[in-house]
Amino acid sequence: MLEYTKRIDPFTGEEYVQVPFKGLFLTEHPIYNKGTAFPQNERYSLGLCGLMPDAVSTLHLQKQRTYANFITKTDDLEKYIYLMSLQDRNETLYYSLILDHLEEMLPIVYTPTVGKACQQFSHLYRRRRGIYVSVNNIHHVDEILKNASFSNVSLIVATDGERILGLGDQGAGGMGIPIGKISLYIAAAGLHPAYTLPVMLDVGTNNEELLNDPLYIGVRQKRLTGDDYDAFIEQFVAAVRKRFPTALLQWEDIGKNNAFRVLDRYKERVCSFNDDIQGTGSVALGVFLSAMKIKKQKLSDQRFVIFGQGQAGLGISRQLVSGLKAEGLSDKDARNHLFGIDKDGLLIEGMPVSEEQKFLLKDKAMVADWQLADPNRITLADAIKNTKATVLIGVTGQSGAFNEEILKQLAQNTDLPMIMPLSNPTVKAECTPETALKATNGNCLVATGSPFPPVKINEREQVISQCNNLYIFPGVGLGALVAGTPKVTDEMFIAASQALSNMVTPDQLDSGRMLPPIEKIRTVSEEVALAVAKEARDSELGIRKDDEDLRTMIRNAMWQPKYLPYRYAKPDGEIF
């Protein structure tokens, strides 16, 4: 197992990377490869003579060449494949290119295109990335973790592939999500790619189409459940704690039957969080805090209808309760502002619900005098009308669920409703921003889960805020790692939400924007990381440094993709 090492020459002050091999192996390793940018002195000293054309390129020239090839791809999936191939060849060039074209390439390397990639993962598979822990090899998990490319891993993103975006069970194809999420961590928060590890926890799949596909690369059996699933996860976590004791473990796209249990079981034992639950809730709270500045109101002035009570819906509900309590409300009063709608309608006492949904159950007396279309079921339309809802949130994956009738009813309840169709990918959104704005005659605030172009209405162009977890999870992860906290707390996510909202300028708020421009994502991640590190310090969970020292540590931890000089390390450790 290699160790990625960056050093400073004590005599010259030169910053350099210590490389473990020479020659062909150096050009084949995506972390170390510079391609045509290897300078002539390194071509001689590192045994690279004749392995590339004579002309030495700069990183800038390489990006020009690469981008010119990228834009010739006419299909988003082709662009995804091209960028993944680049990542497999040269990670420095890959991340430098993404940072130059962030808004254009984020929808390619992650949602919505990554959803298509996960669906076709077995057919697109080219080169290994990350590790696969399966029901067939879990008993060798210690040896598997030894196969990580580098020994100094500080971030692990793991999925079991059961709930991929709004696309459901994709089995081993779910590996596209940890790979994509780590790309976002690196681009947004500057974690070095050598310190990251995507993991596929292959416990089988219930997707019959995959099981019947001869090209499927995953385990061909139904998913583990119950005690067998829990035992599998326990073995994995125990091995991670042994091999990478200070690493942050992010759970990703795990099915709702397991996600909350896994999160609650390990959040005190390892530094970990679930982005689908906590990250989604935190970025949504950040949007709400910005919206309150536009509306000149408080959270406690709103009535929230959350359509969908899976991980995202419950994560948003939990963060909203925390935000309302921060305004001085009791836990009970805070919950009375929230109305959760699941497949059987409004969550009412007596309904069969999961343990995690119980905190949103409404007393039957509360709805006794409501006017209902069907007395046996309280629909989304019923809830919006009877609660006088001011905020509508969609996390169901049901395209078109927010129809014109629903949206017009919401607009009757308040002068400036908030409409948030957050389901991913784009085709799963509950409505389009254009539909929302037309139904309300342009008088609404809109935030979406996937990227949408601006909408022109009433002779005014409305920018659509993307309620993207990218605004939260990279900064939370970076702040937690810099602070050295043994756990990630709810208070850290609230601090992250507040820091995010505080970055939206008055001019941006006046234009209806509720989040900073995505081009500022590195600055956003820095501010979120600082807020998390300060909260860790103040709660006596993190390193005790003043604010400026913490900021300096965060900035020093953020990798800038550029080529550094290389020096070869002999097997005995002597460098020359």
**Local structure of 560: helix, strand or coil:** coil
Active site residue 267: no
Active site residue 110: yes
Cβ pair 494, 473 in contact under 8 A = no
Residue 207: both structure tokens together: 């997707």
One DSSP character per residue, 240-272 reads HHHHSTT-EEEE-S--HHHHHHHHHHHTTTSSE
Cα–Cα distance for residue pair 260/273, rounded to 1 Å: 10
Spatial CA neighbour of 287 closest among 113, 464, 97, 474: 464
Cβ pair 200, 178 in contact under 8 A = yes
Q: Helices (H) and strands (E) in the chain — how many of each?
A: 24, 17
Residue 394: both structure tokens together: 């969609």
Cα–Cα distance for residue pair 311/493, rounded to 1 Å: 16
Strands 248-251 and 196-202: unpaired
User: What is the per-residue burial (b if ≥16 Cβ within 10 Å, else e) of 510-535?
Assistant: eebbbbbbbeebbebbbbbbbbbbbb
Q: Which of 34, 63, 181, 428 is catalytic?
A: 181
**Local structure of 492: helix, strand or coil:** helix
Cβ pair 180, 110 in contact under 8 A = yes
Q: Which of 95, 110, 216, 229 is catalytic?
A: 110
Catalytic residues: 110, 181
